[in-house]
A and B are shown apart, each in its own frame.
Chain A
Amino acid sequence: MSSEERLFRFGKPAWLSSVQTRNAGVYLAGGLFSLAFYILLDSAVWSASPRNASHLHVNFVDWLPFIFSSLGMLIINSVEKSRLASDSFSYSGSGVAWKARVVLFLGFAALAGGMAGGVTVFVLKFVVPGVGMPALGMGVENVVANALVGVSTVVLWVSQNMEDEYAYNLAL
């Protein structure tokens, strides 16, 4: 990782691959996932509270996109990152990178499906019947929660890749 071998004119700042940044990224991912869960829980609690004057209520359909997003996040971050790059691990059999990519594809499909499902619920349940603002917030919260799960996945993924580079630097 010497400065002569890099591709871009601006070098990577030193704090970007430190252990503290990586740990802060993992904490941040947990916080973002918590925020997503509580935004969705807020819509469910508000739906059951007396402040909800409309006839619309949050039921299992509203939770389903979040369940798929969380499942996708779990799958994506369970894959061992070092298996993705190359197929040269002699002890792990052939085609491990291919299998890891298939599992990763399933994870990203679940994540994207969750986000698309959130938008679908928002459009079909709230926008098309022309629901007004205080009840419309339930649909908006659904979309925001699924987007936050995606952001949390990205933050966790980037943090874990940071760790790999850090370990590589130590090993050399």
Chain B
Amino acid sequence: MPTAGLKTIIALSFVLALGFLLVILSCALYSKYHPLLVVATYVLAPVPNWICSHCANPDDFVESSGAAILDLGRFCTGFLVVMGIALPVVLAHSGIITTAAAVMSVVGGLLIYGTIVSFATFFQEEQEF
């Protein structure tokens, strides 16, 4: 997608701002600042994948140890993504935050993570060209 550069960036930043707005609203409306952890989770989610992809050579099919560390990164990323959804649900189930705040922080977190993932894919495609 080399042609849709500027519009994509504008749309992505708009969605990112919307996600942050939802998460901060879910905290500030009820003055319970636990859902801010969702933002930290989703920002940290691509980090294991990124680190492990620098540690291994994925083209090396003879030694399977390179694939193992890539798998570890993917496993940790999957863990963190589900953690971003599960954390507000756990907090809401115990009555620490309200259900509305949990829904808002889950939706906002998914918007933030979607922005990060789509930005990473666009950036990778630009790198390949």
Contacts and interface: CB of A to CB of B under 8 A. Distances in A.
A10 to B, nearest CB: 28
Interface residues of A, number: 32
B21 to A, nearest CB: 25
B13 to A, nearest CB: 26
Contacts of B61: 167, 170-171
A163 B65 CA distance: 12
A33 interface: yes
Nearest to B91: A45
Contact of B80 (A34, A48, A164): A34
B56 interface: no
Interface string B71-86: 1001111111111001
Nearest to B48: A30
Nearest to B78: A30
B74 A27 contact: yes
Given A26-B75, A29-B78, A38 B67 contact: no
B78 A42 contact: no
Interface stretch (B1-9, B93-101, B102-110, B121-129): B93-101
B94 A34 contact: no
B64 interface: yes
A41 B78 contact: no
A70 to B, nearest CB: 12
Query: Do most interface residues of chain B lie in helix, strand or loop, or is the interface mixed?
Result: helix
B78 A31 contact: yes
Contacts of A9: none
B47 interface: no
Contacts, number: 79
Contacts of A45: 90-91, 93-94, 96
A132 interface: no
A34 B83 contact: yes
Interface string A8-47: 0000000000000001001111111111011101100110
Interface in B56-72: 61, 64, 67, 71
Nearest to A160: B71
A42 B76 CA distance: 20
A1 B86 CA distance: 42
A82 B90 CA distance: 40
Contacts of B89: 38, 42
A31 B71 contact: no
Contacts of B76: 30
Interface of A: 23, 26-35, 37-39, 41-42, 45-46, 48-51, 80, 82, 156, 159-160, 163-164, 167, 170-171
